[in-house]
Amino acid sequence: MDYARSAKDHRLETLIAERARTYFGTDRSGPLRWEPSGEDFLSASLEETALMAKVLSKAEFRTWAAGFLPELMADGKLEPAIVSDRTDPKIVHLDGLNLSRARCLYAITAALGAKDTRREALLKTADAHGQASLPFIASGSYEGEHWLGTFAVQMLDARRVVKN
């Protein structure tokens, strides 16, 4: 969706929006509580929510998000994943999960709007996820260093958008 919009490819943008609505528009009670599996680097539930934030109107999104992630949207709480070994090529994925979750949480917050009462709690949770892993993107271990920088830049870009 981001590519389609920046390239002004309106056909692709329309197709993505239509497919997202078709595939995810009636989803309810996303399985966020099943995360992490132990080596996830993306949150399926939050990625879906961030996509829907891009294709639905603010009003539609608020209603959809409350039905898809009722607990998160009610209290804004989600604990960052704990990375027990940054030299393990699978466990270090959890640093990526924290950074990608933060990116999605910032996108969700931005889509809700500046006056939404859930904003503060979601921003606090997003910041906690970022801080749980951002200090470790230069850990000295190849397992994370060769890719976590990209996730960090995407997260910081999403944070800049929501904070402005």
Q: What is the pLDDT of residue 39?
A: 80
* pLDDT < 70: residue spans in the chain: none
Q: What is the pLDDT of residue 164?
A: 75
Q: What is the pLDDT of residue 136?
A: 93
- The answer to whether 81 touches 73, Cβ cutoff 8 Å, is no
Q: What is the pLDDT of residue 38?
A: 76
Enumerate the domain spans of the chain. Answer: 28-163
pTM (2 d.p.): 0.95
